[in-house]
Structure 1
Amino acid sequence: MTISTKVIISTIIATPILFFIGCGSEKKEEKIIKENPIQLGEYILKFSHVVSPDTPKGKAAEFFEKRVEELTKGRIDVQVYPSSQLYKDNAVLKALKLDSVQMAAPSFSKFGKIVPQLALFDLPFLFKDINHLHRVQDGEVGQKLKDMVNEKGYIALDFWDNNFKQLSSSKRALIVPEDVAGQKFRIMSSKVLEEQFKVLDANPQVMPFSEVYSALQQGVIDGQENTISNIYTKKFHEVQRYLTITNHGYLGYLVVISEKFWNTLPKELQNAILQAMKESTIKEREYAEELNIKQYNLIKEYAKTSGKLEIINLTKEQKDFWRKTVSKIYPDFYDKSLIGEDLIKGVLATE
């Protein structure tokens, strides 16, 4: 609901109350207030995110807005600001601390300096599939990570999906780990990703996301890892010869709310937000999976019609061999200041 629409509705609802108050005694006024305790827009919740409204995150944010306002009968006015209208992800965590904005959904990498343990999701081939990943996020390991974020002065609500990452290359088909050796791969700034490629005898290159397409096109780097949505929207598949569906790592978001704002809310409104977030997370995961399938099919169609791209789907046995090779780096991150043995083994123990 737009802000202007909310104002109109609030005015329509409020008009009869003002009319009767103006015509009655003080006792009538007290009676009306008791019978109409709901204050529309009593709390303003600004939800800032960096993607467009038609993305999974964008659509889930709008669903959240609708459900919160329904569950609180308008007492919380949720205002969604997409496409970095208020803040970019690298600035939003500070804004949350100041309560300049009340909610955001930054990618895990933006928490790197305050909760490095979220690099757990970067570990290659740690998760069996998307259902296993969600069981981890919704279970004990996910709660431990949220608690770590809470200790830094935020309220962590839930995990939202981008999706799993895939590998691409311009040099050779990536079927076995040895195929990666000697190639230059773009990575985000991440110790885990650096070690992931080093154990495969490849050369990781930290590079801004905005520079990846031209670097692939010009041969500055040989390959990259990204989700299907990132590969498709940035056309990486058009400047790569091979795409291997590995599902080896995961990109996602953590929805957080301002601790200062949260503490101003009565318990019933906090519960309403938690309920709306639970429903929104289910929706966001559905949106993300639908988009992943749709865009993968579009990449497959490009591969078929252009003849310029080969897509490789690994067998279970091949994935197991990759996992065995790269899992050698897991103990390097057992230190609690990095990720923590309990978190890594907690994932492996999750059925």
Structure 2
Amino acid sequence: MKAKQVYVIIVLMVMLGFVAGFSAPAWAKAKPIEIVFSTYMPTSYEYLVLPLKHFAEKVEKQSEGRLRFKFYHSGQLYKGKEEFAALERGDIDMTAPLDIYNTGIVPELGISNLPFMWSNPESLQRTLDAGLWDLGINGELLKHNMVVLGVAAGGPYQIYSKKHPVCTPRDMEGKKWGISGSTASKATELLGGAPTTMSSGELYLALQRGTIDGCTRPLITGLGRKLYEVVEHLSVTNMAYFCSFLAINKKKWDSLPEDVQEIMKKAAKERNQEQLHRLLAFMKKAIKLYQDKGVKVHIATQEELAKFKEKMAPVYDWWLTKVPDGKKYIEFAETHN
């Protein structure tokens, strides 16, 4: 009798296991989908890189292991200006390119770099969250096989100078400035300065030798390049910005289950906010670091910023010749910042 009971129990266990095998969801047995994520940014750029890592971790966890990220940083796969094309080709699945690196492909991406449009990172992020890129940029990027999941303020440009602080437009007159990009060049000319296009790697020696009197760069670049050793003044004007946009290859996106897509969209929004909070904290810390290094820091007032912006109308007009539908971006920004 006991042997018969044992036999029945064994049969039931086998049957339950058989049924469970059929009732388990297909993804539970499937191999995880691999996402190759590449960024040129080094891990020392914490406020930019950590939100990306946290995005990947959230998606892995919330998808219950259906997605697995292979995360490459510090240009291990591609440099900053190579990421866009690599994503378009499908050589990588995801990246977070900088808008200013790709204005030659999509001119509208230059909206964040217009001088003195936003007084602080929060106002830029508000404009982005309100749908600035929905005016057409997302559609243009879709033509390049990429789906934008989120856009985050990457950091404002500040003014570094050797001998004199920059508090008014007149303070830039008659001096040579190391800048990056055509928009910054136009703005510098309007302020009476002589612009010289330079990579960030050239700034230190140029300042040290007196080839230039100052430069415009984000705080993170100034710290990374140790500009505090060769300048005396830093003017915090939030002159212009760059953004990083979280994007995935269109073919890869279309291959993902709908619920996973929703998980990624939600995590991307959270990444935007995390980057903003980390950026604001970094800016406070960076300003103190410059001061500790002996740099005299001037934080521009709203009145001072208004005087700078008054000079910028010709830059906006010039930009509109490059971006025929740019007016709607400017009007949207002015309404939502």
Note if contact 2:234-2:298 (Cα within 8 Å) is conserved in structure 1: yes
Note if contact 1:56-1:288 (Cα within 8 Å) is conserved in structure 2: yes
Structure 1 partner of 2:39: 49
1:118: Cα distance to partner? Answer: 1.1
Note if contact 1:124-1:327 (Cα within 8 Å) is conserved in structure 2: no
Q: Which amino acid aligns with 1:42?
A: P
Of 110, 126, 129, which residue of structure 2 is paired with 1:119? 110
Structure 1 partner of 2:179: 187
Q: In the comparison of the two structures, how many residue pairs are matched? A: 322
The answer on 1:217 being equivalent to 2:203 is: no
Q: Deviations over 1:253-290 (max 9, x none)?
A: 11211111111112111111111111222212222222
- Between the aligned partners of 1:240 and 1:33, the Cα distance in structure 2 is 69
Structure 2 partner of 1:129: 120
1:157: Cα distance to partner? Answer: 1.6
Q: Larger Rg: 1 or 2? A: 2
The answer on 1:315 being equivalent to 2:331 is: no
- Between the aligned partners of 2:18 and 2:195, the Cα distance in structure 1 is 70
Report matched runs for 1:270-281 at 5 Å.
Answer: 270-281=261-272
- Between the aligned partners of 1:148 and 1:252, the Cα distance in structure 2 is 16
Structure 1 partner of 2:52: 61
1:338: Cα distance to partner? Answer: 6.1
Please identify, of 121-130 and 152-161, the stretch whose mean Cα deviation from structure 2 is larger: 152-161
The answer on 1:340 being equivalent to 2:329 is: no
Structure 2 partner of 1:331: 317
Structure 1 partner of 2:235: 244
- Between the aligned partners of 2:70 and 2:31, the Cα distance in structure 1 is 11
Q: Aligned to 1:186, what secondary structure does the other structure show?
A: strand
Identity of aligned residues (%): 23
The answer on 1:152 being equivalent to 2:152 is: no
Please identify, of 310-319 and 239-248, the stretch whose mean Cα deviation from structure 2 is larger: 310-319
- Between the aligned partners of 1:41 and 1:178, the Cα distance in structure 2 is 63
In structure 1, runs of 5+ residues without a counterpart are 1-22, 304-308
Q: Aligned to 1:126, what secondary structure does the other structure show?
A: coil
In structure 2, runs of 5+ residues without a counterpart are 1-12
1:98: Cα distance to partner? Answer: 2.5
Q: Please report the RMSD computed on the Cα atoms of aligned residues, expressed in angstroms.
A: 2.1
Q: TM-score scaled to structure 2, two decimals? A: 0.89
Note if contact 1:136-1:142 (Cα within 8 Å) is conserved in structure 2: no
1:345: Cα distance to partner? Answer: 1.6
The answer on 1:161 being equivalent to 2:153 is: yes
- Between the aligned partners of 2:324 and 2:51, the Cα distance in structure 1 is 31
Note if contact 1:185-1:222 (Cα within 8 Å) is conserved in structure 2: yes
Of 153, 160, 173, which residue of structure 1 is paired with 2:165? 173
Structure 1 stretches of 4+ with a deviation exceeding 6 A read none
Q: Aligned to 1:32, what secondary structure does the other structure show?
A: helix
Of 23, 37, 45, which residue of structure 1 is paired with 2:26? 37
Q: Aligned to 2:37, what secondary structure does the other structure show?
A: strand
The answer on 1:256 being equivalent to 2:256 is: no
- Between the aligned partners of 1:71 and 1:329, the Cα distance in structure 2 is 45
The answer on 1:292 being equivalent to 2:283 is: yes
Structure 1 partner of 2:218: 227
- Between the aligned partners of 1:175 and 1:220, the Cα distance in structure 2 is 22
Please identify, of 316-325 and 48-57, the stretch whose mean Cα deviation from structure 2 is larger: 48-57
Q: Which amino acid aligns with 2:148?
A: A
- Between the aligned partners of 1:219 and 1:33, the Cα distance in structure 2 is 75
1:194: Cα distance to partner? Answer: 1.5
1:64: Cα distance to partner? Answer: 0.9
Are the structure 2 counterparts of residues 159 and 348 from structure 1 closer, same or farther at C-alpha, using a change threshold of 3 Å? same
